[in-house]
Structure 1
Amino acid sequence: MPVLRPIHASLKGRTRYRVKGLYRSHPFKTHLESQLRSKEGITRVSASTLTGNLLVAYNSDRSPSDISGLIQRIVADYTRKAVKLRKSEHNSVAREDIASPASKRGGNGRQKQAVMSKGKLRRLVVGSEDQSVEPWHVKEADFVLKALANSSAAGLSDREAKERLKKYGPNVLPEAVPRSGLSIFLDQLKSLPVGMLTAAASISVLTGGVVDAVAIMAVVGMNAVIGYVTESQSEKTIFSLKSLVRPRALVRRDEKVKEIGAGEIVPGDVLVLRPGQYVAADARLIEAKRLSIDESALTGESIPAVKKPGVLSEENVPLSDRSNMCYMGTLITGGQGLAVVIATAKFTEMGSIQAMVGEAKTPQTPMEMQLDRVGIQLVVVSGVLCGIVFVIGLFRGYGLLQMLKTGICLAVAAIPEGLPTVATTTLALGIREMRRHKILIRHLDAVEALGSVQVICLDKTGTITLNRMSVVEIYVGTERIEVSKENFVRLSGPVGPIFREEVSGLVVSSALCNESEVIQTNGGYVINGSPTENALVYMALGSGLDVVNLKEDFPLVKIIHRSERRNIMVTVHKTAYGKMLVTVKGSPTEILSLCTWQMRFGEAVPFTDEHRLVIQRENERMAGSALRVLGVAYALVDCDENVVDDEEVLAKDLIWLGLVGMADPIREGVKELMAQFHKAGIKTVMITGDQSPTAYAIGKELNLNGEEQLRILDSTSLSCIDSEAMQALCQQAHVFARVSPGHKLQIVQGLQG
C-alpha cells in the first residue's frame, strides 16, 4: 500500500486521502492536523483514526499535487521520528527488571488473581503505548511469529511478557475504565441554567447579597448531589457486574501451557484455542484443526466461521472473510488451534468499536435544547427589562448604586432557581423506575431521550433472532414438512405413518452423524457443540427420540470429517445385526452425486434423473428462502470395524433420505413489537452483518417497511460514500446488510442527520 493515496478528489479545493499508518494512531492524527493547519492556504483539516482517511480543504491557489507533496513530507518526517523513539524506548526497557503486576502464588499453591484498583487501571490504560497495526492476514504465519513472538510457537518468556505488559498496558477495553467520582459530579454542573444560577450567585456576593448567593448555590448543590448519587450508583453497579466475570485464557509461556487472566495477555503471546473458550485478544492463526468460531458478536454472522491458518491474498477483506484471524470476544465452538496475539485492548477490533462509540458526539436531547432555549430567552428578556428599569430609575433621580442593585435583584429573581432541580429530580425518578424493570442507565438525560425516539435501529443476530440455529423445514420423499416448536407439520396435512418412517430415518441419521455432546440431567439435556449440529440434536429430541440411548445402541467406529475437496461429514457405527451403519450429511449436491437409491413411501427405490432434478429445485428454493440446507443419506455396509477405508465407505450405494433447512429463528413477540412501533410512529431499521438474501427475508417477515416497499442496502461500499449521500441513503433504507461495526456508527449518524 502506498504511503498516501487520494480516494476522493472530485470537488475543487477539497481532497480525501488514505494515509498509511493513520488507522488507530492518535499521535499520528494529532501530528498531521497540527502540521497541516500551520501551513498557508490550508483552510480545513480532519484526520480519522477509525478509517485511516485524511480530509484536506485548501484555497484555489494551491494545487492537489502541492498538497500531496506537503502531506508526504509531513508523513516522512513523522516516520523518522517515530523509528528513533521506538529504538530508544526499546533499549531502555531492555535494561529494566520489571515485577509482575498481575498475579502471585499464595502459600497454599492456589493461584490468586490480583484485583486491580480503578485508579491503577485508569493510569495503566492511559499510559500505554500505541501498538503496530499491520494487515497480518496477508502475511505468512512464520513471518508473524518472527515479528511478534521471536520466531517461536513455544511462546514468550515470563520476563518478556512482563516487559510488554508494562509497555502496552493491560488487555482491557476502553469501556472498562470507569468514570471517576469527580467527573460524574462536574458533569452535573455543565448546563446553561446551572451556569446562569452560578453567575447570579457571584453577582449577589459582589453586591452584598450573601444570603441570596448562599440560597442559590444551595439549590445548585442539591441539583448536583441528586444527579451525582443517581449516576454514581449506576456506574458502580455496571462496574461491579463486569467484575463478577474475570475471563481467563490459555497461553504458551516458557514452552508451557498456562492459564492467566485475560488482562495479562500481551502482543506476541501464543493463545491455545479450545472449544467453549472466548478469544482473549485479536490473533493470527498459526495452527488450526477443524477450528470453528462464532463471530456473531462482531460480524453478525449467525453461522460459525471455519478457520484455517493459510495466507489471504487481498488486504481489504471484510472481517467475516478473514479465515486466518480470530478476534477478541468471539466464541470457539469446535476444533482447536494456536494463534499469536497481534493486538490487545483498544487496538483490537472490539476496542476499535469502543473507540468509535467514545468519539461519537451525543446530540442534545429535546429537554436540553428547550432548557438552553429558555435560558437564552431569560437572559435576553431579563437583561432588557433590567436595563429599562435601571434607566428609568436614573431619570427619576435614584442613585446609581441603588439602581444597579435593583437591576441585579430583578435579574436574579427572573432566573427559575428550582428548574434544574425539578428536571434532575424527575429524571432521577425515571432512572429509579427503569431499575425496577432491571434496566441500568448511566446518564440522566438518556431517560428523557427514550421518550423522544423517532427511529429504532435493531441488530439481527441475537436481538431480533435467537442467535441459535434451528431446523425449520425438512423435505422427505416428495413432501415439504415444517418443523415448528419441535413439532412436525406436513404442509398438505398431518404426517402419516409412512412419512413417519421416512422422517424418523432422517432424524436418526442426523443425530448419529453428529459430534455434539448430549448430557442428560434432571432438568432435561445439556448440549455442547456447533450451532448447526446442536440444531439437529434439538430436532431429534423434539421428535421424541432418545439421543443418548441411540448413540449407545449404535456405537461410533469412525468419523470422516469435512475437507477442502469434500464438503460432507461421514460417521460409521456398529449395529446389532453385524453390518456397519454409514450416515452422511453435508452439501446436498455432493451427497446426491453419491446416492443411487432414494427412500420413498417407506422403502428404498432406484434414484432417477427426474427425482434428482426435483430435489435440486427444492434445494434451490430452500436456499433462496435464506435457509442453510443440508442433505442427509445412509447405507448399511459389510466391513471390518477395525479396517474402515474412507473411499470404500463412500463408494457404497448410499440411500437418499432428504433435505434439512435451518435458520436463526425470530424471537417470539418481535413481529408484534414491530407493529406497535409503527403504530406509535417510530421507524424501524435492521442492521446486520448477514448476507442480503437472509436480511431481506427477515425484514420481509417482520414487515419492517410498514406500508412502503422494503428497501435493502448492501453496505460493503459505504466507506466510499460522502456524508451527504450517506445521510440520504440512510433515510430511505429499511434494512442494511453486510454491515461492519464501523459502518453501524455511520448509519446511526446518518439517521440522526
Structure 2
Amino acid sequence: MKDVLDQDWHTADMAEVLKLSDEKTGLSSSEVQKRRDEFGTNTIPTGKKISLFDIIWHQFKSPLIYVLIAAGILSLVVGEYLDAGFVGLILLVNAGLGAFQEWRAETGAQSLQEMIKLKARVKRDGEWLEVNAEELVPGDLISLESGAQVPADARLIGINNLQVEEAMLTGESLPVQKTIEPGKEETANAGDKTNLVYAGTTVLTGRGTAVVIATGLKTEIGKIAHSLTENSGTQTPLIERMERFARMVSLLVLIAAALLGVIGWVRGMDMTEILFIAVAMAVSAIPEGLPIAMTVALSIGSQRMAKRNVIVRKLSAVEGLGSCTYILSDKTGTLTVDQQTARKIYLPGGQTLDVTGQGYNGDGDIENADPADEALQRFLRIATLANEGRLRRKGDDWEQQGDAVDIALLALPYKLGTSPDEVRQNTDIQREIPYESANKYSAVYYRRNNRLVFGAKGALEVFVDKVAEEERATINQAAEEMAAEGYRVLAMVYTITDDDKSDLPDSLHLAGLVGLIDPIRPEVKDAINECHRAGIKIAMVTGDHPLTALAIAREIHIGDSEDNLISGADLAKIEDDEAKLAETLTNKTVFARVSPEQKRLLVKAFQARNEFVAITGDGVNDAPALRQANIGVAMGSGTDVTRGAASIVVKDDNFASIAAGVEEGRFSYDNIRKIVYLLIATGIAEVLLVMLSTIFGLPKPLTAVQLLWLNVVTNGIQDVALAFEKGEPGAMLRKPRDPNEGIFDRQMISQTMVAGLVMTIVVFGLWVMWMNEGRDEVSSRSDILLIMVLLQNFHVFNCRSETESTFRVPLSNNYFLLGGVLLAQGVHIAAMHIPITQRLLETEPNPMNEWLLFFGYASVILVVIEVYKWILRRNRTPYLA
C-alpha cells in the first residue's frame, strides 16, 4: 500500500485513483483500521514549545556572558563579594531585559497542527459520516463544499464549479479552478496540480468529491511541518560578531592575567595579591555594561521599527535585517496591492484604452475615453451585467463582495462617471447565466433599442472559435500582446438574436478584451531603488505565472528581460547540480512558479554564495524558507505558521516597510558600534593602568570596585543613553557590511586605540606624578576615579559619530545623551558625598577649583579625537567611504 501512495496522483487516470477506494461505498471499517495502523493518524508531530524558562536561559548563552560569570566566580574565590554582587546584578538585569523583549508565543509547527483539527465528511460502509479530520486515512472518500477547509491531500473524482483558495501553499493571488482530468506531465509545483486539493486550503465555491491520497506528514503542510522541526535557523551577523569579540576578550584577559601573574611572581608578590590583580585585570578588560547596553540598543531599534510597521520577534534580528545583502521578496501583497485591477481595454477596431487607479474602488479614469462611444458602452454593459459581484461606495469607503475579477470589472463604470447600479437600472435584463467552471464564462440576455442582445464575459478560448474567422487573428494577437505584458486577459462578446434559450450562440462578435493585473504598491519603486543604492540585491519569488511576474519585475526594476526569469520547472532541472545552479543564479532575479522546497533551496544557494539572505512570505509554503533564511520576514496578514517561523513581522505587508526596517537595523548596528567604541576605549585605559602600575611597582590606581563603578554605573548610564542616538544620514548609501567582518574594522581599531591611549596618558601621568609627590593613595584614587568619569563624559560625545565632528552632530538627535552625561556626573558627585558610597568606593568630595582643573585635563580627549577625525577626513581614508 505504501508503494502505491508514493506515486504521482496528479497524472494518474481515474481508474487508477479508484483502486484506492470504492466510489459507491467508500472504505469499510475494517479497512480503515488496517490503514490507520499502517499510516497513523492524520496529525502532524510538533516540535517542543519554547517556554519562558527556555527564553530566560537563552539570555545566558553567550561567550561574553560566560566571561562575566567566570569573573564573578573568580571574585568570590578571592573574597571580593561586592565585585561578585555587581557582576551578578548585571547578569540578572541583562537576562530580564532580553527575556522581556523576546517573550512571544511560539506557533510554528503548533499552528500547523491546529490547521487540520477540523471535521470531515467521509463515506464509509456505504454511508456518509462526519468524523474528526485526524481519523482520515489514505483511500477515504471525502465530500467538499463551499466554505469548508480541506482536511487532507486528495485527488478529485467529481466537481461542480469547484474553486479553492491555495495562496497559503502556492502564493497564487487568485483562486484555483479545479478539474478532474489527469495531468499531462509530472510537476513539483502544487499550483499546477489542478486535480488535487491540499490539507489546510479553503473551498471558495462549488462542491467536490475526492479520494484521500496523503495524510499527516505525507501532506504538503505535513512536509512543511517536518522541515520546520528539523531546521533551527541561522545566526545573525551581530551574534557571530559578538561571539568572536567575546572570545577575543577572553583570550586577552587570560594572556594579560598570565603576564601580570608572571610579573607579580618575579616581583615576589604572594598568590593572594596576584589573584587580586587578576580580578582587577578581568574587571578592567571585560565591558560589563555591554550586554545591557546592547540589549537596550536593540530594544530601542525594535521600538523604532514597530513605529515603521516592522515587529521584531527576536532582538538580534534588528541588526540582522540591517545586515542583509539579498532580499528575496514575495510578489502578491508585498510588492503588489493584492487586488485585481483592470488596467487595459481593447475595443474592436484596434482602439486601446489605459485605465488608472488600483484596487477595489472607483478611483481613477479610463484615459482618452469618449463616454458616448457605443463600443465602449457595450463593453462596460456586458462587463457589468454578466457579473455576480458587488461594488458600492459606503461613505468614504468601498464595500465589495464576490469574485476578485468581477469586483475589478465593476470598478470600470465608476471610472466613466456612472455606476454598476445605474447600468443595471437602465437595462432591460431578460435572462442571466451564472458562471460555471465547466463553461468558463457568465452571460446575460438584455434588450437594447428593441433588440435582444446576448452578452458574455469569460476566457477568450471559449469564444474565439465562434467569432468570424477574419476577426480571429487580430483578436488573438491583441490578447497575446496583453498576456506578454503580464495581464490576465478576459473577453467580452455579444450577438443580436431573437432567441434567449441558448446558453452560448454560435455566431459571436468581440465586444472587447480587458487586461487585469495585481498592480504594484505606489511606494515600492522608491523602496527598491533605495535598497539598490544601499547595495542590497532584490529578487522576486512567487507562485504566480512567469509572464505576470516578469511584467511586475520590469515595472519595479528588478528584472529587465527574460534572461532574469526562471520558472520552478526549469529550476527543478538544475537544482541538484550545485555548480550549474550557482552559475544560473548569477543573473536571475525573478523566480516564478516555484515550490516550497525550491524557495528553501534558493535561500541555501544564495547563502552558499556568501549572501546574507532575508526572505518574505505569508503562506504556509513560505515557512521552511523563512526558517532557513538568515532573516525571515513574515507578513502581518499571513498565517500563524509563517509568523512563528519568522524573525520579523511586517504589519502592513509592505515592501517599503522592509526597506525602512533595513535602515533602522543599520542605525541600531551603528549605535552598537558607538557603544563598543566607548566601552572598549575606557577598558583599554583601565587595563593599561593596571598593567603599567604593576610593571612599575606602583600601587593600583583604581580598585576592582572602582573599576566596576566606572564600567557599570557611570559608563553604563552613558552607553544606554548613546543607544538612543538617531541614525546618521547616509546609512542607506553604503554597501552592507561583510557578514564575516568583525565588529572591529580598521577605523574602529584605530580610533579606539587612540582614545584609550589618550585616557591612559592623562590618568597614568597624573598617578605617577602624585605617587612621586607622596600623596595619599586613597585620596589620589578618588581623584583618578573622578578624572576617569570626566574622560568618559567627554568621550561619549566623540562616540556619536565615527567620522563627523562632535560639533556637527546636533544635540537634538539625542537629548537623552546630554541627560545621561549630566546624570552620570551627578551620580558620581553624589557618591563622593554619601557616606555609604564613600566607604564602598573610597571616595571623598572635591572642591570646585579641583573639579574645574580635572575638567580641563579630561577635555584633552575631545580635542585629540577631533584632530584625529579631521586628519582622517582630510586624507579621505578609503574605509571612511
- Equivalent residue for 1:251? 121
> Aligned pair 1:533/2:406, yes or no?
yes
**Distance in 2 between the 1:402 and 1:138 partners?**
82
The alpha-carbon distance between structure 1 residues 699 and 267, as it changes in their structure 2 partners (threshold 3 A), is same
- Equivalent residue for 1:584? 456
- Equivalent residue for 1:393? 264
> Aligned pair 1:483/2:355, yes or no?
yes
Give, in angstroms, the shift of residue 558 of structure 1: 4.2
- Equivalent residue for 1:427? 298
Give the secondary-structure state (helix, strand or coil) at the position aligned to 2:10. helix
**How many aligned positions are there?**
597
- Equivalent residue for 1:125? none
> Aligned pair 1:712/2:568, yes or no?
no
The alpha-carbon distance between structure 1 residues 425 and 146, as it changes in their structure 2 partners (threshold 3 A), is farther
Bigger relative contact order, structure 1 or 2 (CA pairs below 8 A, ≥6 apart):
2
**Distance in 1 between the 2:324 and 2:498 partners?**
67
Give the secondary-structure state (helix, strand or coil) at the position aligned to 1:629. strand
- Equivalent residue for 2:486? 626
Within the candidate set 690, 696, 703, 2:557 is matched to: 703
**Distance in 1 between the 2:474 and 2:10 partners?**
42
| Residues 598-637 of structure 1 mapped to structure 2, 5 A cutoff | 609=470, 612-637=472-497
TM-score (norm 1): 0.68
| Residues 420-569 of structure 1 mapped to structure 2, 5 A cutoff | 420-437=291-308, 439-478=310-349, 479-485=351-357, 486=362, 494-499=368-373, 501-516=374-389, 526-543=399-416, 544-547=418-421, 550=424, 553-558=428-433, 561=436, 563=438, 569=441
**Distance in 2 between the 1:414 and 1:510 partners?**
76
Give the secondary-structure state (helix, strand or coil) at the position aligned to 1:730. helix
Deviation digits for residues 235-268 of structure 1 (CA, Å, limit 9, x no counterpart): 37999999999985553376446496x7787766
The alpha-carbon distance between structure 1 residues 314 and 628, as it changes in their structure 2 partners (threshold 3 A), is closer
Deviation digits for residues 515-546 of structure 1 (CA, Å, limit 9, x no counterpart): 44678977876544433333323334544233
Give the secondary-structure state (helix, strand or coil) at the position aligned to 1:509. helix
**Distance in 2 between the 1:541 and 1:166 partners?**
59
| Residues 300-315 of structure 1 mapped to structure 2, 5 A cutoff | 300-312=171-183, 314-315=185-186
Within the candidate set 588, 596, 600, 1:745 is matched to: 600
In 1, are the aligned partners of 2:156 and 2:210 still within 8 Å (CA)?
yes
TM-score (norm 2): 0.59
**Distance in 2 between the 1:161 and 1:465 partners?**
48
Name which of structure 1's ranges 617-626 and 474-483 shifts more when overlaid on structure 2: 617-626
- Equivalent residue for 2:790? none
In 1, are the aligned partners of 2:163 and 2:206 still within 8 Å (CA)?
yes
AA aligned opposite 1:635: T
In 1, are the aligned partners of 2:167 and 2:173 still within 8 Å (CA)?
yes
Give, in angstroms, the shift of residue 650 of structure 1: 1.7
Give the secondary-structure state (helix, strand or coil) at the position aligned to 2:194. coil
- Equivalent residue for 2:519? 665
Give the secondary-structure state (helix, strand or coil) at the position aligned to 1:417. coil
Give the secondary-structure state (helix, strand or coil) at the position aligned to 1:287. strand
**Superposition CA RMSD, Å:** 4.3
AA aligned opposite 1:511: T
> Aligned pair 1:573/2:440, yes or no?
no
AA aligned opposite 1:571: A
Give, in angstroms, the shift of residue 172 of structure 1: 6.0
Deviation digits for residues 695-727 of structure 1 (CA, Å, limit 9, x no counterpart): 222111111259x99723334243434334434
The alpha-carbon distance between structure 1 residues 217 and 251, as it changes in their structure 2 partners (threshold 3 A), is farther
| Residues 276-355 of structure 1 mapped to structure 2, 5 A cutoff | 276-312=147-183, 314-344=185-215, 346-355=217-226
Give, in angstroms, the shift of residue 669 of structure 1: 1.8
Give, in angstroms, the shift of residue 184 of structure 1: 1.5
Give, in angstroms, the shift of residue 456 of structure 1: 1.8
**Distance in 2 between the 1:510 and 1:183 partners?**
58
Between Structure 1 and Structure 2, the one with more strand by share is 1
- Equivalent residue for 1:135? 8
Give, in angstroms, the shift of residue 325 of structure 1: 0.8
| Residues 70-85 of structure 1 mapped to structure 2, 5 A cutoff | none
Give the secondary-structure state (helix, strand or coil) at the position aligned to 1:182. helix
> Aligned pair 1:680/2:550, yes or no?
no
The alpha-carbon distance between structure 1 residues 195 and 269, as it changes in their structure 2 partners (threshold 3 A), is farther
The alpha-carbon distance between structure 1 residues 338 and 387, as it changes in their structure 2 partners (threshold 3 A), is same
The alpha-carbon distance between structure 1 residues 315 and 167, as it changes in their structure 2 partners (threshold 3 A), is closer
- Equivalent residue for 1:736? 591
AA aligned opposite 1:716: A
AA aligned opposite 2:61: K
**Distance in 2 between the 1:628 and 1:514 partners?**
17
The alpha-carbon distance between structure 1 residues 223 and 525, as it changes in their structure 2 partners (threshold 3 A), is closer
AA aligned opposite 1:625: E
Give, in angstroms, the shift of residue 374 of structure 1: 1.9
Give, in angstroms, the shift of residue 505 of structure 1: 0.6
AA aligned opposite 1:324: N
AA aligned opposite 1:673: A
Give the secondary-structure state (helix, strand or coil) at the position aligned to 1:681. coil
Give the secondary-structure state (helix, strand or coil) at the position aligned to 2:199. coil
Within the candidate set 679, 689, 692, 2:546 is matched to: 692
**Distance in 2 between the 1:320 and 1:371 partners?**
43
The alpha-carbon distance between structure 1 residues 590 and 132, as it changes in their structure 2 partners (threshold 3 A), is closer
- Equivalent residue for 2:756? none
AA aligned opposite 1:507: L
In 1, are the aligned partners of 2:371 and 2:377 still within 8 Å (CA)?
no
**Distance in 2 between the 1:158 and 1:540 partners?**
60
**Distance in 1 between the 2:131 and 2:492 partners?**
41
Give, in angstroms, the shift of residue 472 of structure 1: 0.9
Give, in angstroms, the shift of residue 204 of structure 1: 3.9
Within the candidate set 379, 382, 389, 2:253 is matched to: 382
- Equivalent residue for 1:184? 55
Deviation digits for residues 211-230 of structure 1 (CA, Å, limit 9, x no counterpart): 54343233222222221122
The alpha-carbon distance between structure 1 residues 173 and 736, as it changes in their structure 2 partners (threshold 3 A), is farther
Deviation digits for residues 333-362 of structure 1 (CA, Å, limit 9, x no counterpart): 432212344445554323434544554464
**Distance in 2 between the 1:420 and 1:200 partners?**
15
**Distance in 2 between the 1:531 and 1:661 partners?**
14
The alpha-carbon distance between structure 1 residues 173 and 522, as it changes in their structure 2 partners (threshold 3 A), is farther
AA aligned opposite 1:546: P
Deviation digits for residues 352-411 of structure 1 (CA, Å, limit 9, x no counterpart): 345445544644323223322221221222212211221222222233455355435533
**Distance in 2 between the 1:529 and 1:259 partners?**
31
Structure 2 segments unaligned to the other structure (5+ residues): 611-881
Q: Provide the identity percentage.
A: 29
The alpha-carbon distance between structure 1 residues 559 and 214, as it changes in their structure 2 partners (threshold 3 A), is closer
In 2, are the aligned partners of 1:155 and 1:252 still within 8 Å (CA)?
no
In 1, are the aligned partners of 2:541 and 2:590 still within 8 Å (CA)?
yes
**Distance in 2 between the 1:453 and 1:745 partners?**
17
**Distance in 1 between the 2:331 and 2:537 partners?**
16
Give, in angstroms, the shift of residue 428 of structure 1: 2.6
In 2, are the aligned partners of 1:626 and 1:694 still within 8 Å (CA)?
yes
Name which of structure 1's ranges 347-356 and 316-325 shifts more when overlaid on structure 2: 347-356
**Distance in 2 between the 1:340 and 1:540 partners?**
44
In 2, are the aligned partners of 1:472 and 1:483 still within 8 Å (CA)?
yes
